[in-house]
Structure 1
């Protein structure tokens, strides 16, 4: 039985091509949705880009027929802009205020009541990323769904970059003697290049080993990089050693790090970048950038030149640099950075259109990026550069993103198994006992 899907504005602003993901069913766009999209298309951010993309898609469909009457889609369904069914007669007793959300609900309710009179009624479903719209729909006796097609994976299946096995002691001995072990000896399931393997003695002794699957995907090999001491930083757990193995490995130009606050993502990345830029000379510059997305209410416009405006947004990066350079006096870090000239801290606002060769690039707070934004950033990476995306998918400040549809999760899933990329999820906090407890229980 075919269905009628009434689409909320936030679905299209998150994924403009969502219109084509409802198979052979009928897609209805209330007129108020067009009004809301029209108010967003002048924005110069991702929201504005998506609003303009929706406008272009609808304009293209308009060439195939009258949208208010319905236009056939390639997938077999139809799409139409609903100009009627706007009456508040059946809604006014429950929700008296005429808001845009309530106008969308009114269209869906009127369509549902119209379908109930048909011989073979179609089920009317509201699709919205707004939880309160879905709650209101339930209260009115209408079916509502979240738009999940933009999610990259199910929650329990997010790639962690490591897997643990219990193996016979003789396999551990073989790994240490031959400096490699065939993956087929321990697992026949699909594993990925640059995935970490933790081997433990099946008898429960303290014997263990840590290795990484090589580019062929057939062998487990020991770490290549020296991870014991990097720019004055010593890894405190095995996951941090895994992160440094990826950060210091020349043949892995794309690294993704996820983890709770205090697991060491930013500090390890900066230490690895400084080592390879300043000491080893592998890269000409260390570029650190993060999206300008506030936590909580925005503080408004900031005075001063670009560097002064960026300082509050980039302060977490400067805090880590102060620790690495062991600065004590106010302004000392600024003097060091000015003298070095090879460290650049930027907002991602300024990265579009650039080509960035021979640089070690760190993108912090990448969980606040959309799929389109991470694609834009990755296509800026020039020859000889290495890029690190890191963040905590559980701490998202972007209004239209969640743990499963943000740009960081998108990269992790799309690039797993690619020989040029590596990923590790850091789970143990090392900032302080209080920070770890807060991350666990709050």
Structure 2
């Protein structure tokens, strides 16, 4: 067989890939996909695990069973993309093909299968695909091509990601576009086009800082269908939680959060940018009007334990992950945190009682994000928090729960990944931004300024400079 670009590649896929995405085996185009039989054994061993791990293993096994129902996996069965999927195996005698010292583990058996396929098909590319760094390193050291699973990476870097913000500088504002926007509260896009002498390249609901050469500036959100810029006017009146946005990005976020035409919103940015706080503020302010309930979902990633191993019922298992949300509620309502009560002699504005989930009644629900499947949100303001630590598939499950009269807000920081097999560009938050940019019902904003403390912002800037050098 000649070595041409049209020659199908051979991919050897390890267990981490179907565990990450059960449809992954369909996503290799017209190429050949090989699974070592040890992958099936590993999935079988994981299927009874609690939580997400067990669910992922069961979904992957169901997919492999569906393939086996089509015919013999030894001879290969077709995939949707025109390729074929095989299950194969190796023997211990074959380990002589690998460097001396490698143990007879399942990972090494998968590498061995790739090595055998490479020897049998010298004119075809044989590539090991794994979400595990160590697996890719070992495969590479054994003379094999190795790569991460790329299908869920919709951008190649965060620099390519839609920011949701644009600065428009009007060098010639002869028609007084900025003054008109500030006076009337809205502005036809033709004013901006005439001043720019070029087409606008903006998404629906994009946040814009419009500035002219005289130093006048205005914050506005672009409504593409209406061909209009709508003024975002900072107000002196405090929000329902008695907090005032502190910077331009927080005002833009608040405008998007309270815009009923924006049904799905993503807010990403640095620690302390106000993503969750602004979302809670907006949700509280709209309760009893547009929405009947404020619902907050969080991922328990970061503690290193599945919920199933924690003591108690679901409420007790998840209580530690609820604390940051309840702490923000207490801050908004003027109640000092437990740690601050001894330090502060000030009385809270409302009462000395600390807010709990129970005291908020049916107006608030806080739960783990992995128990959403099958649910539908009706007339709810939904916040999916820390969504950089969910998979693109899980983000899709959250998005598709949207029911009549509801709004879903995704928050997170793509640089703060703590979950295995996810990175800054292959996570649920980034996949949502990349997929929905340009939709009329969607808004997005990257919030680069931390209001937590001046020291925090300085540390963020230093870290950014370090990564750029």
1:167 is aligned to 2:175: no
Greater shift after overlay, 410-419 or 225-234?
225-234
Partner of residue 218, structure 2: 209
Which residue is 2:243 aligned to? 233
Residues 369-389 of structure 1 show CA distances to partners (whole Å, capped at 9, x for unaligned) of 223322322333332222211
1:337-376 superposed matches below 5 A: 338=359, 341-376=362-397
Q: Higher mean Cα deviation, 217-226 or 393-402?
A: 217-226
Match of 2:156 among 136, 154, 157: 154
Task: Provide the rounded CA distance (Å) in 1 between the counterparts of 2:236 and 2:410.
Answer: 20
Match of residue 95 from structure 2: 88
> Alpha-carbon deviation of 1:403?
1.8
Segments of structure 2 that go 5 or more residues without pairing to the other structure are: 339-351, 464-469
SS in 2 for 1:132: helix
Alignment-derived partner of residue 135 in structure 2: 133
Shift of 1:193: 0.8
Which residue does the alignment assign to 1:249? 259
Distance 1:302 1:172 in 2: 64
In the alignment, is the contact (CA less than 8 A) between 1:287 and 1:362 conserved in 2?
Answer: yes
Deviates more, 1:245-254 or 1:234-243: 245-254
Q: Is 1:282 aligned to residue 290 of structure 2?
A: yes
Q: Residue 250 and residue 10 in structure 1: after superposition, are their counterparts in 2 closer, same or farther (change >3 A)?
A: same
How far apart, in 2, do the equivalents of 1:217 and 1:298 lie? 47
The DSSP-based 3-state class of the residue aligned with 1:170 is coil
What is the CA distance between 1:167 and its match in structure 2?
1.4
CA contact (8 A) 1:225 1:249 kept: no
- Say whether the 8 Å CA contact 2:178–2:217 is kept in structure 1: no
Deviation at 1:337, TM superposition (A): 5.7
Counterpart residue number, 1:35: 41
Which of 6, 23, 27 is equivalent to 2:12?
6
The aligned counterpart of 2:272 is: 262
Q: CA deviation at 1:324?
A: 0.5
Structure 1 34/338 Cα, relative in aligned 2: closer, same or farther at 3 Å?
A: same
Which residue of structure 2 aligns with residue 314 of structure 1? 322
TM-score (norm 1): 0.88
Deviation at 1:16, TM superposition (A): 2.4
1:123, distance to aligned residue in structure 2 (A) = 2.2
- Which SS does the other structure have where 1:311 is aligned? helix
Distance 2:397 2:303 in 1: 23
1:294 aligns with 2:294: no
* Deviations, residues 274-329 of structure 1 (Å, cap 9, x unaligned): 1222xx63322222221222345679844455544332111111221111011137
Tell me: CA distance 1:347–1:172, structure 2 relative to 1, closer, same or farther (3 Å). Answer: farther
Q: Secondary structure at the match of 2:23?
A: helix
Whole-Å Cα distance in 1 between the matches of residues 461 and 109 of structure 2? Answer: 41
Mapping of residues 25-104 of structure 1, within 5 Å? 25-43=31-49, 45-84=51-90, 87-93=94-100, 95-104=101-110
Query: Is the Cα–Cα contact under 8 Å of residues 283 and 359 in structure 1 kept in the other structure?
Result: yes
> Residue 218 of structure 1: CA displacement?
2.8
> Cα offset for 1:427?
0.4
Cα distance change of structure 1 residues 82 and 301 upon mapping to structure 2, 3 Å threshold: closer
Q: 2:230 is matched with which residue? A: 221
TM-score (norm 2): 0.84
Task: Give the 3-state SS of the residue equivalent to 1:180 in structure 2.
Answer: strand
Aligned position for 1:328: 336
Distance 2:355 2:176 in 1: 51
Residue from 118, 121, 124 that aligns with 1:122: 124
Consecutive unaligned residues in structure 1, runs of 5 or more? none
The DSSP-based 3-state class of the residue aligned with 1:246 is: helix
Question: Out of 400, 403, 417, which is 2:438 matched to?
Answer: 417
| TM-aligned CA distance change 1:365 to 1:107, over 3 Å | same
Report the Cα offset of residue 243 of structure 1.
0.2
Match of 1:194 in 2: 205
**1:388 is aligned to 2:409:** yes
Q: How far apart are residue 73 of structure 1 and its match?
A: 3.6
8 Å Cα contact 1:126-1:143 kept in structure 2 = yes
Give SS of 1:436's match.
Answer: helix
**Cα distance in 2, alignment partners of residues 305 and 77 from structure 1:** 46
* Structure 1 stretch displaced more, 173-182 or 406-415: 173-182
In the alignment, the residues of structure 2 paired with residue 333 and residue 352 of structure 1 have an alpha-carbon distance, to the nearest angstrom, of 32
